[in-house]
Amino acid sequence: MMPSSADTPSSNRSGFRNRLDRLTLHRWWRRTVVEQIDHETVVTRIFAESGWSARYAFMTMMSAGIAVLGLLLSSPAVVIGAMLISPLMGPILGFGFSLALFDFSEMRRAAVALLIGSFLAVVFTAAIVALSPLQAQTAEIVSRTRPNLFDLGVALFAALAGSLAIIRGRGETIVGVAIATALMPPLAVTGYGLPTWNLPVLGGSFALFLTNFITIALAAAAMARFYGFGHYLSSQQSWTQTIILLLVFSIMAVPLGLSLIHIAREALTVSQVRSVLNERFGSDARVTQLEIKFDREPIAIRSVVITPRGQVQQTAPLKQAIEAVLGRPVRLDVDQLLLGAGADALDAQREELRRAGDQSDPVARQSTELAHVIALIAGVSADDVTIDRDHRRATARAVMLPGAAIATYRTLEARAAAETDGWNVAIVPPQMALPEIAFADDADELDVAGRAAVMTSAWAASRWNVPALTVPGLPAGELPSKPSLAQRRAKAIAAILATQGIGATGGAPAGSRLALSIATPR
């Protein structure tokens, strides 16, 4: 009787080599990966930061408060500050490691801390928004309402890096992980959605927080198992963990991937519409604003175009051209600002609004007209203009216009103020360099152009809520008995700033041409 192929010496040797290779690989993994880690110390450190405490509650509320104020002000720097002090990463990592260890007691402890912290953050931010006079959606808020597959990837990579840093004792890396995953801002946006009763914002931001939380926790569990945490678990428990990880990631990836596809299609639509407008108006015109509302049916397109008088376009042909490219009906609204005749265009816009406005409420009609006039000048939508009827004040944060300087925005504000009657108009320019201040050779007095540059710098500082500017060459205290030319020039500039309520601090001396800068608090 002939032996079967499974019993031949060659097949036995092949099976033995495979088992030997697996054993060698396992020994290498145990020796170079697992045995290099002090598992007990790592677990103790993680679980010490994963529970509930009074300090945890206080830091969570402070982080939430900073985050919501940064979101309302549309200040990325303030939002990043909230991420840095947020303690939410501790319970999430504790949840992930307890999942790897099948330690249900620590898992419940971390989950309770995370639930309480999330609840406090949402309630605290909702209270701030309810009391705030500023409740308009900003770019920082909108950017956290539509999670997609890229957000899952960011959270996954950041969680792997953070888990490795904790396991290897490189805790400083966790700061970068906190910024990358942005756990607190989505909760703050969720709190924003409650008092404003904006369900799409509330649901989208909370979905982003859940995406980050689940991804970080599961990635931490996977990294913990790779480094030998929970090596004593049975084969069945290990397979259960693996199946849970793969299943949850797959379930999350499907809707997030669909969301990414939807966002990509919207971006393509915006690009196509902008291409049509640029082609129709020509290279001498500039599309300064393009807003598409995809939640309307048909989609609503609003654009502001600065164009020479000879290249004015009719709306109907533009609409047909856009519909032909997109293959769907649209509602088009184009505001055309004529070069050299901008005032005429604004007069026509204001007259149109006056006729369409509510004649029974002159204050409401006037504020509506004012919002649209300022929106055209600042390059924003009318919804982004803050109108304070009680104090008759209108404020708008202008967008960056190509080739524009600080003086340009000051001129635009003066132009908007001239179009109003009894209203205080404030246009906040984007952060940019202040104008240069020139002196004549060996002169310490400002001419008309130099004084105008100082006044423009003071105007920008007041719009940015900056209390002081740095003046190169300014001495501390009184001028010495024999001041240098640079000191006399700096003192002349500081005197003009003082008349506008702006302080001055010293800086490195400069020549006959100098520029002011924002003073750094000491």
* Average pLDDT of span 434-444: 79
Determine what percent of the chain is predicted with pLDDT higher than 70. Answer: 74
In the prediction, which pLDDT does 441 show?
Answer: 75
- How high is the mean pLDDT of the chain? 75
User: pLDDT category, 252, cuts 50, 70, 90?
Assistant: low
**Which phi and psi (to 5°) does residue 495 adopt?**
-65, -40
- For residue 374, pLDDT over 80 is answered with no
**Cβ–Cβ under 8 Å, residues 276 and 321:** yes
| Closest residue by Cα to residue 74 from 397, 521, 461 | 397
pLDDT digits (tens, 9 = 90+) for 131-168: 887 777 777 887 787 777 777 788 788 778 877 877 77
Using CA atoms, how far residue 269 sits from 139, 235, 262, 272, 299, in Å, is 20, 51, 11, 5, 11
Using CA atoms, how far residue 333 sits from 45, 90, 114, 283, in Å, is 59, 50, 47, 21
**Cβ–Cβ under 8 Å, residues 513 and 438:** yes
User: pLDDT category, 308, cuts 50, 70, 90?
Assistant: confident
**CA torsion angle 21 23 25 31 (round to 10):** -150
DSSP letters for 171-222: TTHHHHHHHHH--HHHHHHHHHHTTTT-HHHHHHHHHHHHHHHHHHHHHHHH
- For residue 233, pLDDT over 70 is answered with no
pLDDT digits (tens, 9 = 90+) for 493-522: 888 888 888 888 876 665 556 667 766 544
Among 22-26, 308-312, 463-467, the least confident range: 22-26
Distance CA 80, CA 47 (A): 26
Token pair 């596809």: residue? 261
* Average pLDDT of span 450-454: 85
**Cβ–Cβ under 8 Å, residues 244 and 181:** no
| Closest residue by Cα to residue 321 from 271, 276, 265, 268 | 276
Distance CA 89, CA 87 (A): 6
Determine what percent of the chain is predicted with pLDDT higher than 90. Answer: 3
Using CA atoms, how far residue 110 sits from 90, 98, 164, 205, 271, in Å, is 8, 9, 20, 22, 45
In the prediction, which pLDDT does 352 show?
Answer: 37
**Helix (H) or strand (E) run with residue 472 in it:** strand 468-472
Distance CA 238, CA 376 (A): 62
In the prediction, which pLDDT does 28 show?
Answer: 63
pLDDT digits (tens, 9 = 90+) for 316-333: 888 888 888 888 888 888
- For residue 406, pLDDT over 90 is answered with no
Q: Who has greater pLDDT, 369 or 203?
A: 203
Distance CA 96, CA 216 (A): 8
Distance CA 334, CA 273 (A): 12
| Closest residue by Cα to residue 348 from 383, 330, 356 | 356
Cβ contacts of 347 within 8 Å, gap of 6 or more? none
Q: What is the pTM of this model?
A: 0.52
Cβ contacts of 162 within 8 Å, gap of 6 or more? 89, 93, 173, 174, 177, 216, 220
CA 45, distance to chain mean position in Å, is 32
In the prediction, which pLDDT does 85 show?
Answer: 81
In the prediction, which pLDDT does 24 show?
Answer: 65
Distance CA 186, CA 180 (A): 13
**Cβ–Cβ under 8 Å, residues 406 and 315:** no
Give ∠ CA 339-342-347 in degrees, rounded to 5: 150
